[in-house]
Amino acid sequence: MQLKGWKDLAIGAVMLEPGSCLAYETGSWRTQRPILDLEKCAHCFICWIFCPESSIQVRGGKVTGIDLTYCKGCGICSAECPRQAIDMVMEATARKGAKDEG
């Protein structure tokens, strides 16, 4: 993000550009990562409704994954899932696992 000087900003912190939160990658806040098991998933979209960051990815009427660029790891999807298809694992563990596999 380009940082501006005080003379270049709109006063009162008014934001003129829509969708500016796209530039704010809240995934870096995450301490726990949701792991989605698509075998268990019934594609009921309850996680999609509840996700406060719109991070549940959907294509062709099916849940396809979770956008980790913005997912804060709040765990609401996991708590709400009626099929226990989403596990929360420690972010550090998940990263280590990903590295080991890689």
Residue ranges binding other proteins (CB under 8 A):
1, 3-6, 9-16, 18, 20
Name which of 3 and 100 has its Cβ closer to other proteins. Answer: 3
**Which residues lie across from 59 on neighbouring strands?**
62
Q: Which is nearer to other proteins, 4 or 99 (CB)?
A: 4
Q: Quote the least distance from Cβ 40 to other proteins, whole Å.
A: 36
- DSSP labels, 56-85: EEEETTEEEEE-TTT-----HHHHH-TT--
Q: Nearest approach, Cβ of 5 to other proteins (angstroms)?
A: 6
**Residue number, 20 or 64, with CB nearest to other proteins:** 20
Q: How far is the CB of 19 from other proteins (least distance, A)?
A: 10
Q: Are 36 and 85 in contact (CB under 8 A)?
A: yes
Q: Which is nearer to other proteins, 52 or 97 (CB)?
A: 52
Q: Closest approach of Cβ 12 to other proteins, in Å?
A: 3
* Interatomic CA distance for residues 92 and 98, integer angstroms: 10
SS3 state of residue 89: strand
Distance CA(22)–CA(11), nearest Å, equals 22
